[in-house]
């Protein structure tokens, strides 16, 4: 214990720790991966929000209720929830994990989840399905960021990496309208498992934008016989920002 503590201090002196988001030097021994300023900028998603899709309401008064969009077209998932607003340091950390394969940022994500929510993140269903990438995208990037983050947050034996497969390589969703996004992801997923389907699963992704991808993946899971699909993302874009 003392030995590992000394090694941590020596490591900090040789490679001074830096904030995983803004890069500012942290005091030694750091004991954290983010500076205080970045930590204070992080916004958790707080009620009131839509009890189905989790979209926070513009008015901070009142209770959770179903939003107009979910009333009009009920999503295939039971409920979607996100931990943080996709902005500031959270956005930076997710982007660093996704595009720079940054292990320091990956562990910083785990740190902010543990500090804000404790563990386990989800105590319900015993099966966590990371949102898959199409093979071509996986080869380009070299890894699936949703799988990497899921393995930081959930016990390894809960995470099923091959149950859901992305069979159509959808275009990047950025810059597409909601209708175009829905068309873009239609029929993109297949589900594979041996024996009986699990009763409920948790679909896990990095960012919830319009929910079109989560909805399409949930539709495929439901069609395969899984009764209950919940969605959890580390972050979500919030329209009222």
Which C-beta is closer to Zn ion: that of 17 or that of 198?
A: 17
Tell whether residue 19 is a contact of Zn ion (CB under 5 A). Answer: yes
50 binding Zn ion? (CB under 5 A): yes
Residue 212 touches Zn ion, criterion: CB under 5 A: no
Rounded Cα distance, 64 and 51, in Å: 6
CA distance 24 to 26: 6
Among 26, 42, 53, 76, binds Zn ion (CB under 5 A): 53
From 34-42, 167-175, 193-201, 210-218, span contacting Zn ion (CB under 5 A): 34-42
Asked if 207 and 94 count as a contact pair (C-beta separation under 8 A), the reply is: yes
If one asks whether residue 32 binds Zn ion (CB under 5 A), the answer comes out as: no
Whether the Cβ atoms of residue 210 and residue 56 lie closer than 8 Å to each other:
no
**How deeply is 21 buried, as exposed, middle or buried, from its count of CB atoms within 10 A (0-12, 13-18, 19+)?**
buried
Task: Candidates 26, 33, 38, 77: give the one binding Zn ion (CB under 5 A).
Answer: 38
**Residue 35 touches Zn ion, criterion: CB under 5 A:** yes
- Least Å distance, CB 71 to Zn ion, is 8
Q: How far apart are CA 174 and CA 75, in angstroms?
A: 21
**Stretch of 2-10, 50-58, 143-151, 187-195 lying at the interface with Zn ion (CB under 5 A):** 50-58
Which residues contact residue 155 at a Cβ distance below 8 angstroms, ignoring those fewer than 6 apart? Answer: 120
Nearer to Zn ion, 170 or 210 (CB): 210
CA dist 241 and 85 (Å) reads: 9
The SS3 assignment for 201 reads strand
Shortest Å distance, C-beta 150 to Zn ion: 24
Counting contacts by CB under 5 A, is residue 30 touching Zn ion? no
Please report which helix (H) or strand (E) contains residue 233, including its range.
Answer: strand 228-236
Element (H, E) at 188: none
Per-residue interface string for the shown chain with Zn ion, residues 60-99, x marking contact by CB under 5 A = -------x--x-----------------------------
Are the CB atoms for 84 and 229 separated by under 8 Å? Answer: no
Which of the ranges 16-24, 113-121, 142-150, 220-228 carries the binding residues for Zn ion, by CB under 5 A? 16-24
Can you give the binding site for Zn ion, defined by CB under 5 A? 19, 21-22, 35, 38, 50, 52-53, 67, 70
């Amino acid at each position: 214990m003392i030995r590992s503590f000394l090694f941590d201090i020596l490591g900090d002196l040789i490679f001074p720790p830096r904030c995983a988001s803004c890069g500012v030097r942290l005091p030694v021994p750091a004991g954290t991966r983010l500076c205080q300023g970045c930590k204070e900028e992080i916004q958790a998603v707080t009620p009131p929000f839509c009890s189905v899709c989790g979209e926070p309401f513009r008015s901070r008064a009142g209770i959770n209720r179903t939003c107009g969009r979910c009333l009009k077209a009920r999503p295939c998932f039971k409920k979607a929830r996100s931990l943080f607003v996709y902005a500031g340091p959270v956005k930076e950390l997710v982007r660093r994990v996704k595009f720079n394969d940054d292990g320091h940022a990956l562990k910083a994500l785990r740190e902010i989840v543990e500090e804000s929510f404790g563990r386990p993140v989800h105590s319900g269903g015993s099966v966590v399905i990371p949102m898959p990438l199409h093979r071509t995208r996986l080869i380009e990037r070299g890894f699936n960021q949703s799988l990497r983050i899921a393995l930081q947050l959930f016990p390894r034996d809960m995470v099923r990496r091959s149950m859901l497969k992305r069979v159509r390589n959808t275009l990047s969703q950025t810059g597409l309208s909601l209708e175009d996004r829905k068309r873009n992801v239609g029929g993109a997923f297949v589900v594979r498992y041996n024996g009986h389907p699990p009763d409920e699963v948790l679909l896990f992704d990095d960012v919830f934008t319009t929910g079109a991808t989560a909805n399409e993946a949930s539709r495929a899971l439901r069609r395969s016989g899984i009764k209950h699909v919940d969605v959890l993302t580390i972050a979500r874009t919030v329209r009222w920002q």
